[in-house]
Amino acid sequence: MNKQIMRQVKELQAKLAKAHEELGNTQVEGSAGGRAVTVVVDGHQNVHSVKISPEAVDLDDISLLEDLVLTAVNEAIRKSQEMAQDRLGSLTGGLNIPGLM
């Protein structure tokens, strides 16, 4: 391979590694039920916290709380995936490189 191409590949690898690290340090929040349930997820889709408002707990309707938690988790993960796509996609020029997203 051409030396210039190899240099560009190494630069891209370094930028991707930095972006990947930054994603792990960046958090997004998903919520449901007017913030009755809030979930915080990082850019690697690791859940960091789940907060449930006492008003959301009704022992006679546990399924509602379960739905709120599920909705908040899914929203947080969706936001995290969008953030990862935005950050990594800008580095790869829109190329779909397996294992990056």
Measured distance CA(7)–CA(60) in Å, rounded: 63
Distance, CA of 28 to CA of 75 (rounded, Å): 9
Tell me: pLDDT of 17 over 90: no
Answer whether residue 98 is part of any domain.
Answer: no
As a whole number, mean pLDDT of residues 34-40 equals 97
* pLDDT over 90 (residue 9): no
Domain hosting 57: range is: 3-92
Q: Which long-range contacts (CB under 8 A, 24 or more apart) does 15-18 make?
A: 15/91, 16/88, 16/91, 16/92, 16/100
Yes or no: say if 51 and 38 are a contact pair by the CB < 8 Å rule.
yes
- % of the chain residues with pLDDT over 70: 89
CATH number of the CATH domain containing 8:
3.30.1310.10
Number of domains the chain contains: 1
Are 80 and 45 within 8 A, CB to CB? yes
pTM value is 0.77
Judged against a pLDDT cut of 70, whether residue 61 lies above it is answered with yes
